[in-house]
A and B are shown apart, each in its own frame.
Chain A
Amino acid sequence: MPINYYITLALCLFAIGVVGVLTRRNAIIVFMCVELMLNSVNLLLVAFSKMHHIAKGAAATAGTDGQLFVFFIMVVAAAEVSVGLAIIVMMYRNVHSININFLNRLKH
C-alpha cells in the first residue's frame, strides 16, 4: 500500500479526535478523543516504520525505533490515563459534574 493511504487514514482519525475535543463537553469523552488522536499518531508511526524498512533495503533493524517509539507512547498514555481519570473522579466528587465548561475558573 502506498504511504499516503495510511497518512490520510491517520489524519482522518486525528481530525475526528480534534473535532471531538472541540465539540464535546463531557470530560471523559474529551479524554477519549485525546486517546484517539494518540492512536492515530501511533498508526502513522508504524506505517512510516514499515515504509522506512523497505526504503532502507529491508535491513535487519531499520525502522525498529519507530515501533519502539509507539511502545513508549503507549507507556506514557497508560500513565496519563491513570492520572487523568483520577483527576476526573476527583472533580466529579467535588462539583458533581464532569462538564469541562463548569470549570471555567481560569477566568478568575
Chain B
Amino acid sequence: MNITQLLFWVLTVIAIGSALMIVTSKNPVYSVLGLIVTFFAISGHYILMNAQFLAIVNIIVYAGAIMVLFLFVIMLMNLSKATETLKNKWLQIVGAIAGSCLFLVLIAALKNTEVKQNLVEMGTGDIGLVKSLGRELFTTFVIPFEISSVLFLSAMIGSVVIGKKE
C-alpha cells in the first residue's frame, strides 16, 4: 500500500465518518462542523487527484463562505439547542431503509458495468491546474461564466429582498 492509497483510505474514512455525524448529531452546530470536515476531506481527495484549483475553491467557497453562513444563521437564531421535536420513529426507519435501498441498488448496478476497473489518474496530470482550467474557462465556457455572474447578482438581490424585515 503506497502513500497515495493510504491517504485515500484515510480521507475516505474521515469523509464518511463526518458525513454520518451530520446526519446523527442532535446539535446543529456539530452537524455544521461535520459538514466542514467532510468538505475538507473531499478537498483532500481533489488534491490526491491533482485537481488543485477545485480543492482550493472548495475550501474557500464551501468550507469558508457557505459554512460560515450556516453557522451565522444557526447562531444568530440561537438554534444550537436541540430543538427538534420528537419525530415519528417509523418514518425515520423507513427513510433510512429507503436511502440504503438507493445505495444498494446503485452499487448493484455498478457491479455490472465495464468501466469499473478503469484507473483514475492520481497525483499527476495538469488538467486540474489553474492554468489549463482558466484557459478553458475563458475561451469555451466564457458565456456560462458571464451568465453565472448574473445568477449571483439575482441571488444576492433575492436574498436581500427575502431577508428584509417588513
A–B contact with Cβ pairs below 8 Å: the answer is yes
In the complex, the answer to whether B99 meets A76 with C-beta atoms within 8 Å is no
- A98: chain B residues within 8 A (beta carbon): 77, 79, 83
In the complex, the answer to whether B49 meets A47 with C-beta atoms within 8 Å is yes
**B92 closest partner in A (C-beta):** A23
A residues near B, CB below 8 A? 1-9, 11-20, 22-26, 28-29, 31-33, 35-36, 39, 42-43, 46-47, 49-51, 53-55, 58, 60-65, 67-68, 70-72, 74-83, 85-90, 92-93, 97-99, 101
In the complex, the answer to whether A75 meets B42 with C-beta atoms within 8 Å is no
Bound-state Cα–Cα, A60 to B126, Å: 8
The list of the 7 closest CB pairs from A to B, nearest first, reads A22-B95, A19-B99, A79-B155, A15-B103, A86-B159, A4-B116, A20-B23
Is chain B's interface secondary structure helix, strand, loop, or mixed overall?
helix
A-B contacts besides A51-B115, A86-B159, 15 pairs, CB < 8 Å = A3-B119, A26-B79, A29-B22, A29-B28, A33-B22, A39-B38, A39-B62, A49-B128, A68-B133, A70-B54, A78-B65, A79-B152, A80-B155, A83-B159, A89-B77
In the complex, the answer to whether B42 meets A2 with C-beta atoms within 8 Å is no
In the complex, the answer to whether B127 meets A53 with C-beta atoms within 8 Å is yes
Q: Tally chain B residues at the interface, Cβ within 8 Å.
A: 83
In the complex, the answer to whether B163 meets A90 with C-beta atoms within 8 Å is yes
Bound-state Cα–Cα, A50 to B129, Å: 12
B residues near A, CB below 8 A? 4-5, 8, 12, 15-16, 19-20, 22-23, 28, 31-32, 35, 38-39, 42, 45-46, 49-51, 53-54, 57-58, 61-62, 65-66, 69-70, 73-74, 77, 79, 83-85, 87, 91-92, 94-96, 98-100, 102-103, 106-107, 110, 115-122, 125, 127-128, 132-133, 136-137, 140-141, 144, 148, 151-152, 154-156, 158-160, 162-163, 165
In the complex, the answer to whether A88 meets B73 with C-beta atoms within 8 Å is yes
Q: In the complex, how many angstroms separate the beta carbon of A85 from the nearest chain B beta carbon?
A: 5
Please judge, given known A-B contacts A36-B35, A82-B156, whether A50 and B120 are in contact too, CB under 8 Å: yes
Q: In the complex, how many angstroms separate the beta carbon of B54 from the nearest chain A beta carbon?
A: 6
- A65: chain B residues within 8 A (beta carbon): 136, 140-141
Bound-state Cα–Cα, A58 to B128, Å: 12
Please judge, given known A-B contacts A24-B84, A51-B118, A74-B57, whether A68 and B141 are in contact too, CB under 8 Å: yes
In the complex, the answer to whether B69 meets A81 with C-beta atoms within 8 Å is yes
